[in-house]
Amino acid sequence: MFSRQHRKARILYGLSDAALVALAFEAAYRTRMALPLENIFYIMVPVKALALGASVLLWTGAGSWLGVYDRLDSGDPRIILRDAFRQSAYAATGLVLFEYSLRLDLSRAFLALLALYCWLFLSIYRLLAGRLAGVISRQFGSPRFVMLVGAGERARRLGEALERSAQYGIRLKGFLADEPGARGQLELSERYPVFDLSELPALLGRNVIDEIIFAVESERLSRLEEVFLLCDEEGVRTRVAVDFFPHVNSEIYLERLGFTPLLTFSAAPHDEVRLLLKRLLDVLAAVAGLLLLSPFMLVAVALVRLTSAGPAIFRQERCGLNGRRFTFYKFRSMCKDAEARKAQLLHLNRRRPAFKLAGDPRLTPLGRFLRRYSVDEWPQLWNVLKGDMSLVGPRPAIPEEVEQYARWQRRRMRMRPGITCLWALAGRDELDFESWMKLDMEYIDNWSLGLDCKILLKTIPRVLSGKGAS
């Protein structure tokens, strides 16, 4: 399925989930009223509307957070049943917490019935959704007829992908050979005719062709300008397979600078709207955090000054987004001359090129406590507010470490550095350098606002337990 159609399918599945949760809510409500239990069950209209709205938001939010809508195309019954169960379990837990915090006094039997009905309704709908999509597409939708330019291995792979999208109304009509004398047939799961490219004007005249996809070598595209112009004049949509660099993992999209189209390869998140939302959330959270923690930060400042000589705030130059330098802030957890003593301890370093020691002798007694519970990181909320850092992102490295990075490791600087990230969940200071770098790459490749929220929620208990810190 094309990516835009996939996005539409995700939206439709989310809307269908909202409708099914509303149906399950009413079914659970009616069932609970009919049960001959000791207490009579009834919900006032305002409370019912609030609980229903919360249920819809929690179920669709859990589905998006768990990535359920990205796996519904698989059609595997086990995955569908498992995902519907997990979604219902997470959402029901959230609803219980919501109900408890607002003292809505909802029946436990009703909440259990709601979770059960939601799981059943979502599972049944998703198991049938593939067939329903096919029936609707055949009966009410117009299929899209597609032809492929090219008859090589690239075109064959693309043809197989189009065949797998048949349930969404995509119909492969055949191939157009970009070299003379290649007419004939090409066999995939079915046999398709291979026409000469010169036959395209006649084919467009006597057949319905909605789209033409070019799956040829990059050097041949310049010779196909007349074909593109023909499709443009006929109003036929054209697409170009741009897998010319098979080992490039960047996301590819088209932009314009004035009248010049630019094919863009991005190896880091580039959606300006979502990145703006991430920045807005960072600012709001940093302001709230600084206001809430300011009394405790004053206490920490006083304790650091009283227990060891030197300033309370440690400042250091770090590398930020795309290598920009900034001043990084922490509560000082080491002795005053820690940087001067670093050279004497290099032989004990366990995580090159980063510098990290187990039981670092430069740590003060108070500093060990501050590090164990990440209290020393609190001043970085000021870095977040300034825009040097984000709440979630790869940790900012010092310039000397960056100079020793392998080329693939430098990509971690293409994302604004953060206070926490996936490495904080996987072991904090217990991780080796290679695993740390790979987790940062995994974060960049899979970044979403939902992933940020998930990391933040999982970081809190990890920090409070003090696990993995040294």
DSSP β-bridge partners for residue 261: 256
Give a yes or no: residue 456 inside a domain.
yes
* Co-location of 94 and 161 in the same domain: no
* Co-location of 42 and 81 in the same domain: yes
pTM for the full model?
A: 0.64
Cα gap 108→39, rounded to integer Å: 11
Mean pLDDT of 176-203: 85
Q: Is the pLDDT of residue 10 over 80?
A: no
Give a yes or no: residue 254 inside a domain.
no
Q: What ranges make up the beta strands (E) of 119-267?
A: 144-149, 170-177, 184-187, 191-196, 211-214, 237-240, 251-257, 260-266
From 95, 122, 139, the end of a domain falls on 139
Which residue range(s) make up the domain with 327?
272-465
CB 187 within 8 A of CB 177: no
Residue 208 is encoded by which pair of tokens? 């319905």
From 224, 244, 264, the end of a domain falls on 244
Cα gap 339→382, rounded to integer Å: 23
* Co-location of 236 and 214 in the same domain: yes
* Co-location of 7 and 121 in the same domain: yes
Give a yes or no: residue 260 inside a domain.
no
Q: What is the mean pLDDT of the chain?
A: 83
Going by pLDDT thresholds of 50, 70 and 90, the confidence category of residue 136 is very low
Residue 177 maps to which CATH number? 3.40.50.720
* Co-location of 313 and 461 in the same domain: yes
* Co-location of 217 and 349 in the same domain: no
* Co-location of 124 and 148 in the same domain: no
Going by pLDDT thresholds of 50, 70 and 90, the confidence category of residue 220 is confident
Q: How far is CA 274 from CA 11, 61, 270, 449, in A?
A: 17, 17, 8, 7
pLDDT at 466: 67
Range picked from 133-142, 149-158, 327-336 for highest mean pLDDT: 327-336
